[in-house]
Amino acid sequence: MENELSRPLDVHRWSEYSEVNHFVHSIFEEYFRWQNPDLIKKHLKVALLDLYVAWNEHQDMKIGVHMNRNAYKAKSRYNALNISHKIIDVVKRLHEIGFINLTTGFYDPTGRLSRVTRIWSTKELISKFKSAKFTTHHVNHISNQEVIILRDSNKKDIKYEDNDDIVKMRNVLNDYNHLLKQTFIDIPELDKPIIETNDKYIPISSNERLVRRIFNNASWKDGGRFYGGWWQRVPSFFRSKIYLNNEGTIEDDYRSLHPNLLYANKGLDYVKLKRGDAYDIHVANINDKDDQRKLVKRLMLIAINAKDEATTFRAVKSELQEEIPYFSFKFDDLKLILNNLKEKHHEIADDFCTGKGLQLMNLDGKIAEYIIDKFTQNNIPVLCIHDSFVVPRSKDDFLRRTMNEAIVNITNQGLPNIDRKGLGLHEINSVKHLDRDLYLDRMIHLSETAPNRSEGYLYRKQLFEEYSGKVI
């Protein structure tokens, strides 16, 4: 039960495609016709479409549904379709007619074992899905779904009033999501569009790419990062294999972004201080340089986000104990590393363990917005993973220039160090007339590492081309 594959009901699942409407109408007329069509049909459509998407994601995927009427707030900016407790009646009816399986949820006062009700399609409903004349490309989200989210300190979505800045943020995101919708994002090597890692299943789905911005602590100054899109949840190994519109990609990320931003807040430029790698700290009892850097980096980043040392050390131990099993992770040992970090970064030492991470996320969110907006305006797809960005290989130079522009415009500081994963076409061509052998070696490398396009990938590409009307 702990590793059960499930996700919450998506109350914004929608489509205006004629065949979808016909599918929903036929089920309504046969099984729900005595109910109010203006009210119930909308709820039925959301339920059926989300069940359809879940079935396409993975045959064992279940959907979590609250069966408590109080869980639904129809008149909320976060509920664009005004889905109400009537969804409960739809679920009960679908179960009654044998279209869904259902396991009843339960409440644990301690909050540790509480579970909402799980539903999933039966063979009868799957049979109808298989004969339906639409694909997952025809199923998306309602166009006016809220993409700017404000949460309180308990991570609950809360009300807010629009202003010019919020409207601008929303417009940037809506344009960006429209571009993503028109982009074929996939991994050629995957025959089945799913990644299994650490007991988790990550669907590589056209239905899992809506991006939102989330602000925290009821403040527009805390958080503001971009979330959503299956590419944020996959390990870096798989990100390097992503293709955009059937073209290979590269990924650039800002080196030590949050430490650099802390220095920038003090009016200092870390690059100009020439202290090298921000995470280059000797750790006793760790000989492996990669493990050493991994531990120091994780400790520093957690210390920037955490509010005290004890929380920092517990989090580091929890995250890395299995990866570096030979290290003790005693608090005294971690304390020594933290003190060495404070000595190396004495200018920003007072920012450690103060919970400033959300403020830094606000800055890196603004940096990401600049990059996303620039690419969207130029109709070039870009995938944001907070402080790193994935773009088509042919746009490597444009990405590098835009990332530099973003830092200068947002922080008023000098150019950062940027790490690259993969080979861009601009950097390959830049040596064409200077070092012919190097140029040929790089071209050969690209050729040799080009992925085999699986049958599943080619089929998904075909469906996208049929849906979008463009050949890629």
CB count within 10 Å of CB 466 equals 10
Segment 362-369 shows an average pLDDT of: 96
Q: Mean per-residue pLDDT for 140-152?
A: 96
pLDDT recorded at residue 111: 63
Q: Which of 4-18, 101-115, 273-287, 418-432 has the largest mean confidence?
A: 4-18
268 pLDDT more than 90: no
Tell me which residue has tokens 């519109």: 245
Q: How many Å apart are CA 55 and CA 101, to the nearest integer?
A: 13
pLDDT at residue 452 greater than cutoff 60 = yes
Considering only residues 268 and 29, tell me which one the structure prediction assigns the higher pLDDT.
29
CA dist 251 and 237 (Å) reads 11
Higher pLDDT, 449 or 132: 132
Confidence of residue 443 (pLDDT cuts 50, 70, 90): confident
The owner of tokens 């907070």 is 386
The pLDDT of residue 109:
74
CA atoms within 13 A on the CB side of 70: 0
Residue whose entry in the numeric block shows the structure tokens 């290989």? 393
Average confidence (pLDDT) over 273-281: 87
pLDDT in tens, 185-214: 999 999 999 898 776 788 898 889 999 999
Q: Taking all residues of the chain, what is their mean pLDDT, rounded to a whole number?
A: 91
- Residues 371, 252: Cα–Cα separation, whole Å: 12
pTM, entire model: 0.90
CA 440 to chain centre: 36
Specify the amino acid at residue 320.
L
Q: pLDDT, tens digit, for every residue of 87-143?
A: 999 999 999 999 999 999 887 777 667 789 999 999 999 999 999 999 999 999 999
CA count, 13 A, side-chain hemisphere, 448: 6
pLDDT at 2: 45
Burial class (CB in 10 A: 0-12, 13-18, 19+), 146: middle
What confidence tens digit (pLDDT) does each residue in 292-326 have? 999 999 999 999 999 999 999 999 999 898 889 88
Q: How far apart are CA 421 and CA 466, in angstroms?
A: 32
Q: Which amino acid, residue 425? A: L
User: What does the pLDDT average to over 448-466?
Assistant: 91
Query: Can you tell me the distance from the alpha carbon of 382 to that of 392, in angstroms, rounded to the nearest whole number?
Result: 8
Distances (CA, A) of 167 to 103, 161, 162, 253, 358: 41, 10, 7, 28, 22
Distance CA 367, CA 362 (A): 9
* Percent of residues, the chain, with pLDDT higher than 70: 98
Q: How confident is the model at residue 444 (pLDDT cuts 50, 70, 90)?
A: confident
Share of the chain above pLDDT 90, in %: 70
Is the pLDDT higher at 108 or at 452? 452
Nearest to 281 by CA among 271, 268, 291: 291
pLDDT range class, residue 181, cuts 50, 70, 90: very high
Under the banding of pLDDT at 50, 70 and 90, the label for residue 1 is very low
Calpha distance 421→249 (Å, rounded): 9
Q: Select from 80, 68, 76, 70 the least CA-distant residue to 13.
A: 80
